[in-house]
Structures are given as structure tokens and as C-alpha cells.
A and B are shown apart, each in its own frame.
Chain A
Amino acid sequence: MSIRFTDVFYTYNPKTPLEHQALKGINLEIVEGSFVAIVGRTGCGKSTMVQHINALLHPTSGVVTVDDFQNVPEKKKRSKNTKELRQKVGLVFQFPEYQLFEETVEKDVAFGPKNFGKTEEEAMEAAHKALLEVGLGEEFFKRSPFELSGGEKRRAAIAGVLAIGPQYLVVDEPTAGLDPLGSKEMMALFQKVHEAGATIILVTHDMALVKRYCDKVIVVDDGTIAKVTTPDEFFLEDIEKYSLDSPELYKLARFCIAHGADFDMKSIHGVTAFSEAIAKWKGVKHE
């Protein structure tokens, strides 16, 4: 079971002066159980791409397969089980806190499961479970979502997607605007969801997250897949050409190499290992 893009093209506003081809032949497979990062500059087509996974957009041509569901161009006969697909694929947009709307936190989170046919009680139970999972305890259940802090709002919004119990979770810049501690907690949450069996697709500009959490990196550039690789391999090269920012450690390592250091980049993982390599390069003996 997996997500598969086959020759996917997508054009916004076709046959108008605003026509814009966002996807130009995407071929890609995301296997079940992985934790992948989708990276690339703003406007490269990342968000357009992930919106095909739960059929918010239909390809202009080509096919996107999610398990046994097929997302095909609109004019062709379409699968009737879009609802089932959207239960399977949870999509968390950027700044999801702007999408809260109910009068209490628990009602907001229960909206999804209820919409997918759960009874009032079942939906509430799923909501409570999801809220506890994102770290919002009982004291939050009856509060208005609009009274929460920014980070709490975002967690409530994510609980709304988790309550549906998606197998595939697509998250678009989930840590933007959070403080470092909030980011860590947010990523720990996705890690937990991943360990419970879900496939996580993380759209991000934060390369530190890619390095720490993902097993695969998909680089999108100008509507095409520029590269599919592992984080370790990816950071060995200069990724500025994709308008991405290397983690500081790799910037410094490349600087040292340019100044004559002979590092095996593959063995440099953390600050400690890197400092050993530098000390060796500079000829410092460890006392």
C-alpha cells in the first residue's frame, strides 16, 4: 500500500490569462509507514502536490493513487469514495489555527469524526482522545478555541485531524511561528503518530527537522521532482541551489573542507563527532 503519482500535471486557471502550470510531470512513490519530507522553495509546487493526495485537487492529467483509490482528471469518471479517502488522508494546512470555528475546543475537534458518520458520543470520545494526545488536558475541553494561545490553538486544530484517525498525515509547515520548545513538542507528537503506524508527509523549510525526523527527502523544483534521497546524503551537497538553508553544522563543515580539511562527512552527525574531526584536522591532541 502506498501513495503513487504517475505523470501528474496540474495547471491553475487553464485557458485564462492567469494560467499557471504548477506541476509538470510528477512521478513519485511514498511507501506506507515512512516519514518523508517534501522540500523546495516557495512556489515550487509542494502544496499543489500534497493537495492531490486527498483529492482536494484533481490532476489536469495523470493519476494519483492512494492505496486502492484513484485521483484522476475531473472530466473522467471519478471514484465515488472521496469521503473514504479523506478519512484515510489527513491534511493539516499551514496555520491551521485560523480554521477553528466551534464554540468549544471539544466540539471543534469532534466535528471531523461526526462528519465521517460517528455518533455524537463516539465523536466526542475520539475528540477527547486526540486532545489528550496533543497535550491539551481536560481543562481545555470546554474552553472556547479562540481563548487559547497560538501554540494551543494549533494543537487543537491538529487534534481535529488526528481525531479522524488518518493512515496518512500530511502536515504543511507545522512548526512555523512556534518557539523552539513548541516546535520540539509538535514534532514529538508526529513522531508518536508515526510510531503508532501512520505515514507522515512533512512539508517544510526547516532542514533541522528534516535531518532529525525524516527517513526520506523529496526535493521539488519548478513543478518537477528534482531529487529523492535520504537526509544524510542530501546535506552532503550544497542545497542552496534549491533556495534551501543547510543546517549550520553542514555549512561549517563545507567551509572547513573548502579550507583544506579532509572530513568524511558521512561520519559527522552531531556536534561532538564534528568537534573531534575538527580537533584532528587542527592537530590538537586530546588530553
Chain B
Amino acid sequence: MNPVLQIEDLSFAYLDDKNVLNHVSLSIEPGQYATLIGHNGSGKSTLSKLIMGLMSGYDGKIFLFGEEVNRKNLRSLTSKVGIVFQNPDNQFVGSTVADDIAFGLENSCVKREEMEAIIQEVACDVGMEKFLSHEPASLSGGQKQRVAIAGVLAMNPSLVIFDEATAMLDPRGKKEIRALIQKMRTKNPDLAILSITHDIEEAAASDRVFVLEKGSILFAGSPHEVFCHYEELVNARLDIPFAVKMCRALRNQGMHVPENITTVEALEEFLCQ
């Protein structure tokens, strides 16, 4: 299968300014859970906007599902890419939850009977089926993000981008969304996820990590391959997952800890042996 997303030598600058993205290359395979980390202003959100075709005028190539994105195929290719934004309050258009989920379907002229079935299904997927007639404003942050995800799922995407989608949620809301992402991946094993996040523990538990620093990819690989660059990451003032720090300290104590531990769960398993 073709990569879901492939970016080759992508550079981009806002009007006359210096490059926000510098020769970025990366790819995401079907079914992969990729995370993109980096400081505010490192170019993360610019990258997601370019992938979504929300801005043009870049150098380099973007391929979606094996096809290079151009003006003609942009609409059809990006229709299989969904995005969930940071602020749950800025992405509602409908007056009820059901209306809101229907928005994308209406735009792509889905028949009314089909639409109702789809809305019911995706609302069940995100656990919001009892709220279909509620006003979005009356929901909690986590519930709002679940409705936003339902709207994305209604379009049957092959790639979903989460642009700091849990940053404004409380711990319970964050947990809900993390569990939901896992559920989505179980239901559709080919669904690829790109999560732009500040949550270093989320990155530590993902399949593939991209570190963006000043518009360039600093490191890319499995969590282990990325977080073994301990000093460089600290120098770039990026966070290190707790388990990675802990393993390092344990090695200093003379313990033989496997190299590939990046999550607390894996560390717990090791300590139980």
C-alpha cells in the first residue's frame, strides 16, 4: 500500500518572511499512529494546514495516498483527510450536535436517508448518540471534541490529523479522547493518525515520532530511536518522556534496563520481571 501521506523537501514562507518550513520530508503509512512534536512556532500547525490544502505556494511535493497533490485533485484527495483543532469552541457550525455532524455530509451532497444512518453510527462511535439534539454550547470540552471527531469520522477518512486536540481539555477529557483514538484504530486498522502534540507521553506511546525544530525535522523514527538522542533534545529544550529519564537514572544505578523502553507501562513490565 502507498503511504497515506508523503512529504518531500517541503519549504514554505509566509509573505516575504523567512522560511517557516525548511526542506521537510516525512511519510506516514496506513494504520500508523504518528506524533509531531516541537515548540510553539516550530512550524507544526503550518505543516498541518499545508497538508489540508488550506494554504498554497510551497516548494516541494505533498503526496496523499500515493498521488501528488495539485490544484485539480486537491479537493478529492483532502476529502479523505480529517482534522480536529485545538479549540473545541471554534469548530462548531450546527445548532445541534446532529446538525454539526451533518455539515460535512451536506457539503458533499450525501442523500438524507444515508446521512441519518451515518450520523447515528459515528455518534455511537464517539459515545455521543444520546446528545444528538443537544446544543453544542451545552457540552463539556471533551464532549465537544468528540462531536468534532464524529464530524470527521462521518467523512470516512483515511488520515485524521489532531492539531493539539487535547491541549484545552482537563485530564478526564484528555483521557476520553486518547481512549477514543485507540477505539477508532481498532475499528479501522488502516486508519492513520497524525497527532500534533505537546504531550511527550503521548509521543512516547506512538508508532512514529517526528521532532520539528525551527522548521526542520530534527529527528524522526520510533520513540526509542528519537528519545535516545537525549542530550540533543535537552539542548533544544524539548521534554523527555518520564520513563526515558527514569531508565537513564536506573542505568546510572547499575541496572541493566532494555534500550527500547519509552513508556511507564513498559517500565512497569520490566520492573515486574
Residues of A at the B interface (CB closer than 8 Å) are: 41-43, 95, 149-151, 176-182, 205, 243-245, 248-249, 251-252, 255-256, 259, 271-272, 274-276, 278-279, 282, 284-287
Contact = CB atoms under 8 A, between A and B. Distances in A.
A107 B200 CA distance: 37
B249 A180 contact: no
22 contacts: A42-B141, A42-B172, A95-B168, A179-B198, A180-B198, A181-B39, A181-B237, A181-B238, A182-B39, A182-B40, A243-B171, A252-B246, A259-B271, A271-B242, A274-B249, A275-B250, A275-B252, A278-B253, A279-B250, A284-B253, A284-B255, A285-B254
B273 to A, nearest CB: 10
Interface string B26-61: 000000000000111100000000000000000000
A248 B264 contact: yes
Contacts of A279: 250, 253-255
Contacts of B86: 177
Interface string B209-237: 00000000000000000000000000001
A286 B164 CA distance: 42
B184 interface: no
A138 to B, nearest CB: 20
Interface of B: 38-41, 86, 140-141, 164, 167-168, 170-173, 198, 200-201, 237-239, 242-243, 245-246, 249-250, 252-255, 264, 267-268, 271-272
B204 to A, nearest CB: 10
A251 B268 CA distance: 10
Contact of B140 (A42, A95, A149, A244): A42
Contacts of A151: 40-41
Given A177-B168, A274-B246, 12 more contacts: A149-B41, A151-B40, A177-B86, A179-B40, A179-B198, A180-B200, A180-B239, A182-B39, A205-B170, A251-B264, A255-B268, A286-B253
A228 B200 CA distance: 30
Contacts of A251: 264
B264 A252 contact: yes
Contacts of A178: 40, 198
A274 B164 CA distance: 31
A95 B86 CA distance: 13
Contacts of A181: 39-40, 237-238
A202 B268 CA distance: 32
A272 B247 CA distance: 10
Nearest to B246: A271
Nearest to B200: A180
Nearest to B198: A179
A278 B250 contact: yes
Nearest to B39: A179
Contacts of B250: 275, 278-279
B40 A150 contact: yes
B171 A248 contact: no
Which of A149, A245, A248 has most B Cβ within 10 Å? A248
B164 to A, nearest CB: 7
B265 to A, nearest CB: 10
B59 to A, nearest CB: 24
Nearest to A245: B171
B198 A286 contact: no
A234 to B, nearest CB: 15
Contact of A271 (B141, B172, B245): B245
Contact of B246 (A42, A244, A275): A275
A225 B171 CA distance: 20
Looking at A41, A178, A180, which has the most chain B CB atoms within 10 Å of its CB? A180
Contacts of A286: 253-254
B111 to A, nearest CB: 39
Contact of A244 (B38, B41, B171, B239): B171
Contacts of B239: 180
